[in-house]
Structure 1
Amino acid sequence: IATTKSTISKLSLGVLVLLAFLMVLLCVVTILGNTLVILAFVMDRNLRHRSNYFFLNLAVSDFAVGTFCMPLYIPYALTGTWHLGRSLCKLWLVMDYLMCTASVFNIVLISYDRFLSVTKAVRITFLFTVLYIPAIKMVAIWALAFLLYCPAILFWEQVAGHSVVAADQCYAEFFDNWYFLLCASTLEFFVPLLLVTYFNMHIFHNIQRRQRRGSAQDCEPARSSSLSWRFCGLPWPGASSPSSEAEDSVSSLTRSWRPAVVANGPSRTETSSTALKRNFSASFCSRTGSKLQRDKKIARSLAIIVCVFAICWAPYSLLMIIRGACQGKCIHNSLYEATFWLLWINSSLNPFLYPLCHMRFRMAFLKILCPKKFAALKSGNTPSF
């Protein structure tokens, strides 16, 4: 921070204007993207699912980054001087650290929820319906995020007895305290990264194990009823998995099964109970294949969100620890500034990852942005959502 003014003074007016435009553009994109997610929850009841409330919690924290943290920091980044006073500086620091940390913890919570839904779906059904209250976990996220940094931001100066921050600067008092930064970064980034990696590995391992088995136990009734593997919506053992989305797999399974039921329908010598067992077996296998496809789609979407999180947060977390260890002498301020904005880019990318990974989000966004096109699709021959 001490070299901010000297670095900025070397930049030409054209470069400063370009930087200002890019910063404002990122701020606007962050606000609009997360506003769209929040509006989708308000307007579309299909999104008001227990798991999706965690995405709403993430969107709220990212929205606050775009509406408060970025706008107040842009003049400071361009001039190298904080003009808004110490009180507003403290408030900005509290909000910035709180929202960014809450965003990370929300990603962990989303990963944990997906992990449970894929690997322990049957065993935790009662827990979901009775004890699993999303509101409690959402509040806990904000409480933990506040406790990690905010008390240190507010009271470090009183405990130390003096301030190390210049009057025209705005950064945390512990900015050069290597021990605190190492502990805080471990809890804010490295532990969450290990957790989401663990959840993802178990999700993919669970899906691969089910694919290798070919859901043999789940489809045993179907095989005894002379139904082929294609009715389960699963590949032959050793074959590659289908590339269709989970939403499309349900309709395709239904289309592929119905003709087979007619072709292999009960003969005159078969009893009605045999036909009923056959129909039930085919329906059961269809649901099994549909769930496997849904879980695979959950795993892909979660992997994308987590990879983006790791790419955006790793440079900042590592440089912050290195910078604190060498008192800012071994890391150029412009490099640290770039990683700082990369961290904020994560808040602008998150709302765009939702429609890429979830059909319901895509349809909700289409309903908000293009209501006429949405009405045409709804009235046409489109998959149910």
Structure 2
Amino acid sequence: MDNVSLSNTTVKICNMREASFLLPVCTILAIVTLVTLCGNVLVIISIAYFRQLHTLTNYLVLSLAVSDLLIGIMVLPFVIFLFVTPCSPLHDVLCRVRGFFDMLLCLASILNLFCICIERYYAVCQPLSYQTKINSRIILGMIFMVWSLSSVLSFVLTFGGNKSKERCAIVQILKLSVIAAVIAFHIPFVVMFTLYMKILLVVRRQARSIHTASLSDGVSKAERRATLMLAMVIGVFFICWAPVSICATYQPFNHFSLPLKVMEIFKFLAWLNSMLNPFIYAYSHSLFRSAFRFILMGKIYTKIGPNARLQ
């Protein structure tokens, strides 16, 4: 009798699980997923199609867009499914799979951004040695290291820690959550912020130089565009990832006292980073705006070719 009552109670909880929030939460997640997919597909097509966008920086941007796109394909749909079906027989397995891809793709996204910052540092601060230190082979090596390191770390951090006994949540509480936060946020942000401050000082110094402005005006404009894009990407990255990363660092030392719903909201904010990056490219870089316009208007299927002049 007790077992029957317990079973009936469990079914009732599953059927009534946050019913008043189910529709709005799933609607918001579906919209974020759709916008993430569309925005990053635009970035990938733009860089792959238009030769004017075939630069070393944009190869790293392409890798970043792929990781953000895969978050929209392999993470957010899992989140929606697990939220809607908390008592599915495959819930625990899908929870682990979602957790692995979440860690893998979020790490790849952050490390791609880290590599973009390094490339910009050499381009602006050490232009004379840029050609020898940064080339297509080095960029491909960076991309390979990003995805290899992300795969290894995500496996260790996902399966090496003990998951909480609570239901599969958007945020999984691991014993290794502090290590994950340090690797995925604290170290990359400190390094990126330091490099960007150096880049900003050099750009301001170049802007004051009459010789630089007169001899390489086109080059300096291109560098300023890329630097502006980097600044916005780093700023949005900090806004989106700081809350969940700081809380993940703080939680183990405070007996995991922070409500799980708060952590889930912060994690959702972190996923927004993958949706916002394409808008940053469009806002800060006129070439991306032109490419997006050509694609959305269907001009790439007419007389427009990959050699089209973007303005």
With normalisation by structure 1, the TM-score equals: 0.69
Q: 1:266: which partner in 2?
A: none
Q: 1:151: which partner in 2?
A: 156
How many residues are paired up?
298
Unaligned stretches of 5+ residues in structure 1: 158-162, 220-231, 233-284
Q: 1:112: which partner in 2?
A: 118
Tell me by how many angstroms 1:365 deviates. 1.1
Tell me by how many angstroms 1:57 deviates. 0.4
Aligned mate of 1:362, from 289, 295, 303: 289
Kept in 2, the 8 Å contact 1:62–1:348? The answer is yes
Q: Does 1:346 align with 2:273?
A: yes
Unaligned stretches of 5+ residues in structure 2: 1-11
Provide closer, same or farther for how the CA distance between residues 73 and 360 of structure 1 changes in structure 2, counting only shifts above 3 A.
same
Per-residue deviation, residues 89-139 of structure 1 (Å, max 9, x unmatched): 32221111000011011111111111111111122223334x853211101
d(CA) in 2 for partners of 1:335, 1:156: 21
Higher helix proportion (structure 1 or 2):
2
Q: Secondary structure at the match of 2:187?
A: helix
Query: Which residue type is aligned with residue 97 of structure 1?
Result: M
d(CA) in 2 for partners of 1:170, 1:333: 8
Q: 1:190: which partner in 2?
A: 186
Per-residue deviation, residues 193-246 of structure 1 (Å, max 9, x unmatched): 01110111011111222233x23xx37xxxxxxxxxxxx5xxxxxxxxxxxxxx
Per-residue deviation, residues 343-377 of structure 1 (Å, max 9, x unmatched): 10001111111111222211211111113599899
Provide closer, same or farther for how the CA distance between residues 289 and 25 of structure 1 changes in structure 2, counting only shifts above 3 A.
same
Tell me by how many angstroms 1:150 deviates. 1.2
Q: Secondary structure at the match of 1:124?
A: helix
d(CA) in 1 for partners of 2:157, 2:171: 8
d(CA) in 2 for partners of 1:17, 1:384: 42
Q: Does 1:304 align with 2:300?
A: no
d(CA) in 2 for partners of 1:152, 1:184: 7
Per-residue deviation, residues 140-178 of structure 1 (Å, max 9, x unmatched): 011222222312423546xxxxx7546x636888x252x
Q: Secondary structure at the match of 1:169?
A: coil
Higher mean C-alpha displacement, 72-81 vs 202-211: 72-81
Q: 2:22: which partner in 1?
A: 16
| 1:1-385 equivalences in 2 (<5 Å) | 11=18, 13=20, 15-78=21-84, 80-81=86-87, 83-129=89-135, 132-156=137-161, 165=165, 169=168, 175-177=173-175, 180-212=176-208, 214-215=209-210, 218=211, 232=213, 285=214, 287-328=215-256, 330-372=257-299, 385=311
Tell me by how many angstroms 1:182 deviates. 2.0
